[in-house]
Every structure is written in structure tokens, then in C-alpha cells.
Chains A and B, each alone.
Chain A
Amino acid sequence: MAIEKILKDDASEEKGERARMASFVGAIAITDLVKTTLGPKGMDKILQSTGRGHEVTVTNDGATILKSLHIDNPAAKVLIDISKVQDDEVGDGTTSVVVLAGELLREAEKLVAAKIHPMTIISGYRMAAECARNALLQRVVDNKENAEKFKSDLMKIAMTTLSSKILSQDKEHFAQLAVDAVMRLKGSTNLEAIQIIKKPGGSLKDSFLDEGFILDKKIGLGQPKRIENAKILVANTAMDTDKVKIYGARVRVDSMSKVAEIEGAEKEKMREKVKKILGHGINCFVNRQLIYNFPEELFADAGILAIEHADFDGIERLALVTGGEIASTFDNPESVKLGHCKLIEEIMIGEDKLIHFSGVEMGQACTIVLRGASHHVLDEAERSLHDALCVLSQTVNDTRVLLGGGWPEMVMAKEVDELARKTPGKKSHAIEAFSRALVAIPTIIADNAGLDSADLVAKLRAEHHKEGCNAGIDVISGSVGDMAELGISEAFKVKQAVLLSATEAAEMILRVDEIITCAPRKREDRM
């Protein structure tokens, strides 16, 4: 029986049961991979690259782990995507979202095995998610009016976020740093203005917040090391001779002196360019590209601080914070926006000299200098701090706050359970399953801490049966504790994003009943 081939060679398709199996297996595998990183006693992972050098990263950040995995399973890819989106949107909860989606799928797998149609499960999940969200909304605390309380809320959120990371030992110090930095932003979520500089050496405790901007570059030879009331021109221009960039362009001369003339003319062009730049009335010039010896000397003669070879990032940020624009032509000095700052000086951090711009135009700008024993520590510290900063900047806009430590999950689970009891029909099973998936999060937190999760979660559930209880898992003492007293808080926005995107992702994967793998595009060998 020769059935004609519909798909190309190498392409494959999987249907019904098997397709769903593949999705479930993939998604659950991913969940199991990252779930041990959840919570304050979560473990870290080594990411070992298979590329040259076998570089090693040690991390606890779900998004970082998932981003680096290379995976063929389509369902697993969906989970990785939601963790990425979570990272971009709110910055934290990247592990939670994947774990919750995975648990939802794990429960769905059982329901499908019990012959419940995926569509029924989906609609049950939807109802449950809506109900859970309402439950959270009822219990949120909003301290927008009270600045003092709000600040302490921010501190708590920052500490909760940091407690699961490498910074946990110095979490108060870093929470303070993060809160100060975010408060400077005054409500904008533009984290660009917060610059993080990593300098090996010292210990994590030596990290500090500095107002202004720090550029990791050197000041040219023989130029002033300190400038007050600086007018800064930020540029991206080639400071060697403007070359005629046509292939094969060449000059023909008939004597040596003419060559010398041309050389002189080239030099003259450079001098002209420098003159034009000086014509802007500046006293600091920062270039993205190299400034060669000759112009450097000219700048030094004019008493101007010239910084060469600042990278893309540095240039863009510098332009942003000093309020200047990146210039590449210098013919119209009046149309170029110069940057301003009160003071430029050279400072030493550890063993390195850096350039410090203080009193910059954009008041929000600040720099966090991270110190740490090694690059692993610094990289991980940066990731952790970034998470905290993201969450805080989101919280400043949406000031609603929840308790942490598994408390929101238990609150939601309780409400969802109620709903399940009220709902007639098969949907009720799905809603019940949703509640079980929610409870899985405190279970995993307890498991990671090496605690008896079954016992703790049961206790927690009993506590939550009382009205207005604040009970959550206190991982440090290994028991059920009052989260309000322990000061463990989370941002409402993070929880909501976790809940909604996990439900959506689970829904999407559940809908799949066929996977078609396309034939890989043939590529010609490069060499």
C-alpha cells in the first residue's frame, strides 16, 4: 500500500496522543530542571557551554538557565518563551512562571488520561485563573498614600527577591542599594539610567551606589584629569584622516615633496576636524572610535579632556544621562546638543582608574558599582540585582503588594477550591487540578529547603482556613510562620503576570494535537 508522501524527506509529524505526550514530557522536563532553583534555599546550576573555551556560568536565575538551553521540543520552547517574556515584563518570577505552567500541565496530563477533553480542561483553567486573580485582588495591600510605609514595602520586596540569590547574605545592603536607585528614577521604568559596573576584587559588601555616571576608560595623555562644569560632546566619528573609501583610489605624483604635501594635507584635515570640534566650545570630548596620537595631542594642547574608544553602550548611556546627542558631523555647532555635567574626575576603584561624571543633567542617573571575588560572583550578582531593580521599578508604578512565601498561592488555592465545589460538571475537576498546581509551589519551596513538604503544606492549608491569615512557609526556621511579621513581600504585578502567563502557556500547549517538524533547510557548506 503505497501512500504517497505528503511531507518532504526528514520532515515528520506526530498526531493526537503522541503529540500531546511529547508536549507534556518536554514541558515537565523543563519544569523539573528549573524547579530546584525556586525559593530561598533553591540550588544553583552550572551552565557549561559546549563552545570553545567551555565557559562556565553559575546561576540561580530561571530566565538565564532557560535562555541558554538548546532544546528541540516545541512545548519546552513555549515555556522558555514565557520565562523570557516574564523577564522582560516584570523581571522576576521567571522560575515561578515556568514551574506553575509545568505543574498545570502535569495535572492536565492526568485529566486527559481520565478522558476529559482538553477544551474542558482549558475552560476550567480559565475560570480558575480568573477566580484566583480576584482572590489576590481582594487581599492586596496598597500603601501608595503613605510614603514611609511604601518605602518599607519596597525594601521588603527587594529583600524577598534577593533572598533566593547569591546576594542573600548581604541582602539588606543590596536591597537598600536597589531601593535608592529606583527611588531616584522617580517612577520611570527606564532602567537604562541605572548603570551597573562590575569590578573584580573586594567583597560583595564593598558594592556601592554612586550618583552620576562612571565610564570605564582612560583619559588621554597630558590632558586635565578634572573638569568642573563640563560641556561634553559625545561623538561617533573616525578621528584618523577621512579616507576616500573607494576601492583602488590612489594618487599619482611625480615627486617626493608632493607626497609630503599630501601627507601634510591629511594632517591638515585632521587639524581642521579637531578645530571644528573645538568650535563647539566644549571642554570634554568623548568618541566611540579611536582618537589617534595626533588629534590626542591637539586636544591635550587645547586643554580638553578627550576619551577615546568608549564602547557603544557607554556612548549611548553617556549621551542619555548628560542630555547630549551623539554627533558624527561637526559643521553646524549650533545644531549639536551638548551634554553637561558639574564635574568630571578620575577615580580609583580597586586597582583600576575610571572616569566619573557627577552632577549630570538627567538627575535620575546613577551607577551601582559591584565588587566581588570573581567573575562568576559578579555576573550572578548583576543578574540578581537586575531582577530586584526590575521588580522595584514595576512596583513603583503599580504599588499593590502581596505577602510572599507561598502565601498568595495558598490564598488562591483556597478560593479556587471553593469555586470547584460550586461548579457543576467536568470543569470542576479541572478547577480542582488548578488548585493542586498552585499548591505545588509552596511544596517545591519546602522540598528545596529539605523540609517535610507534605506536613508543612497541610499545616499551611489548615492555617489558611481561618479568615485573614498571613501564614506562609518560613524556610529559615522550617515551619509555618507569619509572613507579615517576617517581612516577606512580593509585588502584585509579578504574581499576576506569573498566574496569567502560566495559564495561557498551559492552555496553548494543551490545545496542540499535532506536531509537524519541518524538514531542515539545506544549507550549503560555508567553505
Chain B
Amino acid sequence: MAAVTAAQPRSSKTESYVDNKRKEDIRQANIKAARAVADAVRTSLGPKGMDKMISTANGEVIITNDGATILNKMEVLQPAAKMLVDLSKSQDSAAGDGTTTVVVIAGALLKQCLLLLTNGIHPTVISDSLHKASTKAVDVLTAMAVPLEISDRESLIKSASTSLNSKVVSQYSTLLAPLAVDSVLSVVDPAKPDMVDLRDIKIVKKLGGTVDDTELVKGLVFDKKASHAAGGPTRMENAKIAVIQFQISPPKTDIEQSIVVSDYTQMDRILKEERNYILGMIKKIKATGCNVLLIQKSILRDAVTDLSLHYLAKAKIMVIKDVEREDIEFITKTLNCLPIANIEHFRAEKLGHADLVEEVSLGDGKIVKVTGIKDMGRTTTVLIRGSNQLVIDEAERSLHDALCVVRCLVSKRFLIAGGGAPEIELSRQLGAWSKVLHGMEGYCVRSFAEALEVIPYTLAENAGLNPIAIVTELRNRHAQGEINAGINVRKGQITNILEENVVQPLLVSTSAITLATECVRMILKIDDIVNVRIMKWQSTAKYLLSSRILYGGFFLNFLFCLFVFFSKLCFLVNNETIHMQHAHLTIQALL
């Protein structure tokens, strides 16, 4: 019986030897779902695109214009729709900008594919033609591009502001664009001129003020107060900075320990010893001339105690505590110093030097700024201000996009016109090319060309212009050889878009085309969705871990170890196990 019932849901397929209905259905469903996703973000394209308000499950509200963020928060379930979400993520990591464009193009391509499929063209034929068309498209784009010198700051700023113009913070683009350019240029390593590691640019967000107050800091900014507990200094000139990874607090061993006190005098002695111990440490620190301490956060014990803060204040040492471990690398790189993990190794040569470390009040909060760093590493910090959290978050996302745009230009030094000009030119050239191709290919390439018109069409539509009039006019201008004619959204007409300073990096356009095609081809090739069960070891182990914290019984302990052991056996969770062991240790320490 069991066997028959198991086969039941699939029985329709066993008979369907010639029946392709199901495959068609799956394909249709996939394409429809993916297009629904594309339609959802379509209206946010371009400088006059609208924003979306997303209210997440836990009540948080996000307002954004960034395609990748919108899609990321949408929590789609349909597999094909999910692939579109991944597509915009890929664009985000490849180029950083154009995350909406890529999804809109994919949606338009799918629409055309549906038409081709209903005409009875085999999906693999469509898929191969799309690949060809996209390779050709990249060639066309490259031919259109204008080379750029990295020293040409003006052009870099132009393209950064094109990216910023479509965002909520567009009115600040005159401020943010040069900021983005300067910060990227300052982290470019002359040894490797086409590599930019955006991790070298730290973005610190602080509520209060307006976006106007956003600034580039040549140095470090901590979103933390200097420790005030005992009236320590909050401003230090000629600072000698130490980054320490040990704690200035009474000693604590890894083995459990208890101090047995049997009488009153002993207690006194213990207190005195504690004071001496801390004082000894601080003396050693002072001896090296250090006057600013950055202390790494510790979960096992207090990084500093009131007592040690008091002594540090007495010794005129400024203290910033609770520095995250992940930040240590950035900090040491910036300050050109080494982290110190033990008091015995506290030596003067491990310190970093800066002209000024000071605490600055900003609105209601305070930050610590380190400026005038000697031998500063190639890093930079941007301090973003804004009147509310939503604005700050959106400003950060926009700035990230702008930074990515500049990075693209650094690694691939070509500019291309914006405003729909490249898309319409592609559409025109591919359309012409399709006429020389034979058979199905020509037909498919023509559809590809038509699909690309969606970008200028949507741009015009979002700007409240008459899309059909604009697109036909644009087509006309391009046919006459004005390859840089594009939609000027502000004026509501067609102009030479290069003269309007609307430019974007070539990499954004090419990667949007290739990624969108790749994704569409993948969706086309799918003819079935199979539900599968994943191995549950990982999730079960995690579940047990969490319940362990709650109940902490012996039995659970045993089960947990068993699971960890099992999952090791299964070679399933290489990294996971290590993390879990790690967590395991931490919990042991806590209990």
C-alpha cells in the first residue's frame, strides 16, 4: 500500500510520456513569478523613480529606492522569483549599482521569452541565442564607452552623482558624490591601482543633524564615548595610542576559582592586592608613554572596572572601551600599530601616533575622533549624519552604491552615457544584427533587442512622460546617428545625455546585461520543480543548542554531543560545527 500511495502524486507523470503540459505549466509559472518580482521594483527605476516602504515581520520600517534592498526584504518563496532576488544580489556584489536595472531587464526578457515559447521555439534554442545576443551586446557597449583617466576627478564625480540622483538623498548629491570619489581615491593602493577594497572605507552612522553634515574624516571615528566614569581626559594632543586585547581588571583564571576569605584582615588584604595588581598594570602602560587606550570588548570578563578606570584617569590616560574584535584589523591598519594581547608585551614600538584624539559632542550623542595620524594606512572613514534612522540608513545604502560606482570606474576605466541611451542603442544595433542572422536565432535576437527598450520606456513612464512618444523619438534620434541621445528626465525631453553629465560606469551596464541573460537562461532551462528534504542535522543541532541554554539538562547535553559527533561524521557541517563548538565553549564559560 505504502508504495502505491507514494507513487500517487507522481502517477500523472508516469503516463505523460508525450504530455508536455506539466513542463509548460512549470515554465509559465516560473516566468510569471519572476515577472511579478520585476514589476514590483520597476517603478523605482530612474531619477524620478518612487521609493518603497517595507514593513518587516518584526515591525521595522525601511524606506528605500535600492532594488537589492527591496528584493532582499520581500521574502519571496517561489524558486524562480528567488533567483531574481539572487540576481540583484549578484549585481550588487559585481557592480554595486544597477540592481533595479538588472531585474527590470530580466523581467522584460522573460516576457519576450514567453512569447517565443508560445510560438513553439525550443527553450535551449532561445537560451543559446540569448547568450549570443548578450555577448554581442557587451561588444556594442564597449565600443560606445568613453575611456577615463583616474585622475579625472570631475568625471568620477559626475558618474557618482548619476547614481545618487535616483535615491532619496538626491538633493545631497553635490555633497555625497565628491565625498564618495575622495574616499575611494584615498584608499587606492598605488601598488595595485585597479584594486579597491571597500572594507577599507568605514561608514559610521550617527543620528542627529542633517545629511548635510556628513563628512569625510581622515582618520578614525568611534561611535562611542570616551570613558567618563572617573573624570578621565576626553581630549589628547600628541596621542600615543595602544590597541589592547587584554583586560585591565582583577585577574580571572580559565579554571573556575574562588577566593576563600576566613577573616576580616584577609579581606582588607585582598582589596589591597587588587588595587596593587591594577596599579601595576597601569604603571607599565604609563611607562611606555601611552596616553590613549583602545580596549577590545571581552565577553568573559569586564574589560575595565571602575577601579581601573579611576587609576587610568589619574594617570591621564584616555580610555575607549568595548571595541569590537572585527574592528581591530581596521583600526590597527589605520593607526599603523599592532594589537597588544598581553601586558608583558606592552612596548612603545607597538603604539600608534596621532596629533589629536578628542571626544566631540554631536547633538545628543558623542563620538571620538582620531585625526592627524602618523603613517596612516590606506583607510578612510565617512561619518553619516541624518535627522532620523530611516534617512541615515538610506543615505548609507546610497553612499555604498556611489562608492561601488567609483570602484567600478577604478577597476575598469570606461564611462558610458546614462539616461537610457546605451539600451536604445543596443536595441537598434542588435535589431539590425538580427536581420543578418539565420533561422530561429535571428528571431530570438530580435526579441532580445525589443526587450531592452524597457529601460528607456520605464524611465519615461516613471518620470510621468509619454513613454511611447519618448521611446519612438529616441529610436529616431539614434537611427540618425546620435548615439548619445538619451532621456533628460529633468527637462522631460531628449538631449545629448553626455553633455548633461549623466554618465555611469561601463561595468554596471555590461554586468547588468550579462547577469540578466544568465539568469533568464537558467530559468528557461528549468522544466520541473522537485520538492526535496534536506538533511536535518544542522537545524536539529542548532535547536538542541538553543534548548540546552534553556534547560541545560544532562540528557540534552548528551544529545547535543551526539549530534555534533554525527554531523561531523556526515561531513556536512564543516564550518558549522566549528562555530557550534565555539558557541559551546562560550556557553560553558557563561554557565
Physical interaction between A and B: yes
Using a CB–CB cutoff of 8 Å, the interface residues on chain A facing chain B are 12, 14, 22-23, 25-26, 28-29, 32-33, 36, 41, 43-52, 54-56, 58, 60, 65, 68-76, 166, 169, 200-203, 221-222, 240-241, 243-244, 248-257, 259-260, 262-263, 266-267, 288-290, 292-294, 296-297, 300-301, 309, 311-313, 348, 351, 373-377, 449-450, 515, 517, 527
Expressed in whole angstroms, the minimum distance between the Cβ of A64 and any Cβ of chain B is 10
B361 contacts the other chain (Cβ, under 8 Å)?
no
B94 contacts the other chain (Cβ, under 8 Å)?
yes
Whether B259 and A46, one on each chain, are in contact in the complex, defined by CB atoms closer than 8 angstroms, is no
22 contacts across the A-B interface (CB closer than 8 A) = A22-B3, A26-B3, A33-B10, A43-B123, A46-B526, A46-B529, A51-B534, A56-B82, A72-B2, A73-B6, A251-B258, A253-B258, A255-B266, A256-B250, A256-B273, A263-B252, A293-B296, A297-B345, A312-B571, A373-B94, A374-B83, A374-B89
Assembly CA distance A292 to B2 (angstroms) = 55
- Given contacts A33-B530, A36-B528, 11 further A-B pairs with CB under 8 A are A44-B526, A46-B530, A48-B529, A50-B534, A262-B253, A266-B254, A293-B246, A296-B341, A374-B87, A449-B122, A450-B122
Pick the contact of B341: A12, A203, A294 (CB < 8 A).
A294
Whether A374 and B86, one on each chain, are in contact in the complex, defined by CB atoms closer than 8 angstroms, is yes
Chain B: interface residue total (CB-CB under 8 A): 90
Whether B77 and A54, one on each chain, are in contact in the complex, defined by CB atoms closer than 8 angstroms, is yes
For window 497-536 of B, CB contacts with A under 8 Å fall at 514-515, 518-519, 522, 525-534, 536
Whether B525 and A44, one on each chain, are in contact in the complex, defined by CB atoms closer than 8 angstroms, is yes
Assembly CA distance A45 to B260 (angstroms) = 68
For the complex of A and B, 8 pairs with smallest distance between CB atoms: A450-B122, A250-B256, A72-B6, A68-B532, A256-B273, A43-B527, A293-B341, A297-B341
Whether B339 and A255, one on each chain, are in contact in the complex, defined by CB atoms closer than 8 angstroms, is no
Indicate whether A50 sits within 8 Å of B529 (C-beta atoms), given known contacts A14-B1, A32-B17, A259-B252: no
B302 contacts the other chain (Cβ, under 8 Å)?
no
Assembly CA distance A296 to B253 (angstroms) = 19
Whether A43 and B258, one on each chain, are in contact in the complex, defined by CB atoms closer than 8 angstroms, is no
Assembly CA distance A275 to B530 (angstroms) = 56
Pick the contact of B13: A33, A76, A249, A375 (CB < 8 A).
A33
Assembly CA distance A81 to B216 (angstroms) = 61
Whether A51 and B533, one on each chain, are in contact in the complex, defined by CB atoms closer than 8 angstroms, is yes
Assembly CA distance A466 to B342 (angstroms) = 84
Assembly CA distance A455 to B6 (angstroms) = 36
Whether B262 and A36, one on each chain, are in contact in the complex, defined by CB atoms closer than 8 angstroms, is no
| Interface 9-mer from B445-453, B478-486, B574-582 | B574-582
Whether A50 and B1, one on each chain, are in contact in the complex, defined by CB atoms closer than 8 angstroms, is no
Whether A311 and B578, one on each chain, are in contact in the complex, defined by CB atoms closer than 8 angstroms, is yes
Indicate whether A73 sits within 8 Å of B3 (C-beta atoms), given known contacts A259-B259, A293-B245: yes
Assembly CA distance A73 to B2 (angstroms) = 8
Assembly CA distance A301 to B347 (angstroms) = 12
Assembly CA distance A514 to B329 (angstroms) = 67
| Total A-B pairs, Cβ < 8 A | 257
Indicate whether A253 sits within 8 Å of B332 (C-beta atoms), given known contacts A14-B3, A72-B6, A263-B253: no
Q: Contacts of B338 on A, CB cut-off 8 Å? A: 221-222, 297, 300
Q: Contacts of A25 on B, CB cut-off 8 Å? A: 4, 7, 11, 14
B438 contacts the other chain (Cβ, under 8 Å)?
no
Whether A259 and B339, one on each chain, are in contact in the complex, defined by CB atoms closer than 8 angstroms, is no
Assembly CA distance A74 to B123 (angstroms) = 34
Assembly CA distance A51 to B338 (angstroms) = 45
B274 contacts the other chain (Cβ, under 8 Å)?
yes
Pick the contact of A517: B3, B89, B260 (CB < 8 A).
B3
Pick the contact of A28: B1, B14, B124, B529 (CB < 8 A).
B14
Q: Contacts of B246 on A, CB cut-off 8 Å? A: 293-294
Whether B251 and A263, one on each chain, are in contact in the complex, defined by CB atoms closer than 8 angstroms, is yes
Assembly CA distance A263 to B547 (angstroms) = 33
B255 contacts the other chain (Cβ, under 8 Å)?
yes
Q: Contacts of A47 on B, CB cut-off 8 Å? A: 529-532
Q: Contacts of B254 on A, CB cut-off 8 Å? A: 240-241, 243, 266
Q: Contacts of B261 on A, CB cut-off 8 Å? A: 254
Q: Contacts of B239 on A, CB cut-off 8 Å? A: none
Q: Contacts of B87 on A, CB cut-off 8 Å? A: 373-374
Indicate whether A52 sits within 8 Å of B277 (C-beta atoms), given known contacts A262-B255, A376-B83, A517-B3: no
Q: Contacts of A14 on B, CB cut-off 8 Å? A: 1, 3
Expressed in whole angstroms, the minimum distance between the Cβ of B571 and any Cβ of chain A is 8
